Amino acid sequence: MLLSYDQEKKLVKTMFAAYGMPENEAEITADVVTHSDFTGVYSHGISRLTVYLMQLASKAMNPRPNIVKTRENETSVSYDCDNGHGIVAVNMAYDEILPKARKYGIAIATGRHSANIGCGHYYGARAARDGVIIMLCCNTYRFMAPFGGSEKLLGTNPIIVGVPTGSEPPLILDMSTSLVAMGKVQDAMRERRPVPAEWGLDRDGKPTTEANKIYTLRPVGGYKGYGLAVMVDMFAGALAGASLQNEIGDVYKMQPEDTGFSLIMIDPSVFMPIEEFTARTDEYCRVMKSSKKAEGAEEIFLPGEIECRKYQSFMASGFELTAAQGREMVGLAARVGLCQTGEPFDEFMERVLKN
């Protein structure tokens, strides 16, 4: 079924609210989830919603957290996120440090007792609209072993960097330090699709193409990705006072994630007029795009450019929700009385849009 951006956002917001989230927090969380699908980052869109809702249902995530500041000065703020959704906490932190960065040039926020922060591209795009640079990272549920090991001690530990431009698409790096996000493995499990053997290892440390047998994910770039994951743990876990390694909960046991994040924001206008900075980034992009291509390459892309194009395309055409995802949404909706078990998804969706 094809859904427009507003239709998917209404569906996701309705589901979050039904599982106990306040309307304003369900709104921002739904926006991030929908942005994920509409930029082609399926691992944190509807595909991830199932995990979020099961966390809320099992109390592994607090639907109505009391997020409080634990420390604050002119350029920094720290939060205890009360085991709430990481999307809510990071957006709150963003709002808090934006005026600090405007005034002092740089500001940082950290959060502990947090959870998954959702689609990283969303925050990079938000920063680009505000004309600021951000560097954001978080640790996550454990899915990755140390390089050369077989014990799950690391998360997928994403790194997000957003840089504003002028007329060119914003520069947005959104990468997990694992070769793939766990959401892609879960999506393959849902669709019963094989996965590339290089994605992960089974419990015996052997490559597998069966998504349901993946025990640990492989780091991107081998030992280099492993090194980045460790440093994300330092910035997002140790610096924030969040859990690390075996202290982090187990998603399969629906334990609280108890992870952390670190958000650094820089205002380029403190260092030069913003028009000068964006002119420089625009020229940088144009030089990259027009440089000589390697054999077989049709185009050179910059970080975040493909996601921006997919966003424009999906905004025009709509996003295709698979039959399996539709059945899953109905099953989750039935658990909280939004519909009857086994009801056709299109009928359920029609009611959602009328309310």
**Complete domains list, the chain, with CATH:** 1-57+318-355 (1.10.1530.10), 65-178+219-290 (3.30.1370.60)
pLDDT at 32: 98
The token pair that represents 121 in the structure block: 């591209």
Residue 197 has φ and ψ, to the nearest 5°, of: -65, -25
Longest dimension (CA), the chain: 59
pLDDT digits (tens, 9 = 90+) for 205-232: 889 999 989 999 999 999 999 999 999 9
pLDDT of 149 above 90: no
CA gap 163, 277 in Å, rounded: 10
pLDDT of 135 above 80: yes
Taking a C-beta distance cutoff of 8 angstroms, is the pair 242, 259 a contact? yes
pLDDT at 183: 74
pLDDT of 42 above 90: no
pLDDT at 20: 96
Number of other CB atoms surrounding residue 107 within 10 Å: 25
Percent of the chain with pLDDT over 90: 86
Tokens 């027009």, residue located: 290
- Average pLDDT, stretch 140-146? 93
- Average pLDDT, stretch 192-201? 90
Most confidently modeled range among 41-45, 143-147, 296-300: 296-300
pLDDT digits (tens, 9 = 90+) for 61-81: 999 999 999 999 999 999 999
Average pLDDT, the chain: 95
pLDDT digits (tens, 9 = 90+) for 233-272: 999 999 999 999 999 999 889 999 999 999 999 999 999 9
Q: How confident is the model at residue 159 (pLDDT cuts 50, 70, 90)?
A: very high
Q: How confident is the model at residue 300 (pLDDT cuts 50, 70, 90)?
A: very high
Cβ neighbours for 314, distance < 8 A, ≥ 6 positions apart: 5, 37, 38, 39, 40
pLDDT at 252: 85
| Residue 87: closest CA among 63, 70, 68 | 63
pTM, to two decimals: 0.93
Element (H, E) at 110: strand 106-114
- Average pLDDT, stretch 260-289? 98
The token pair that represents 138 in the structure block: 């978080």
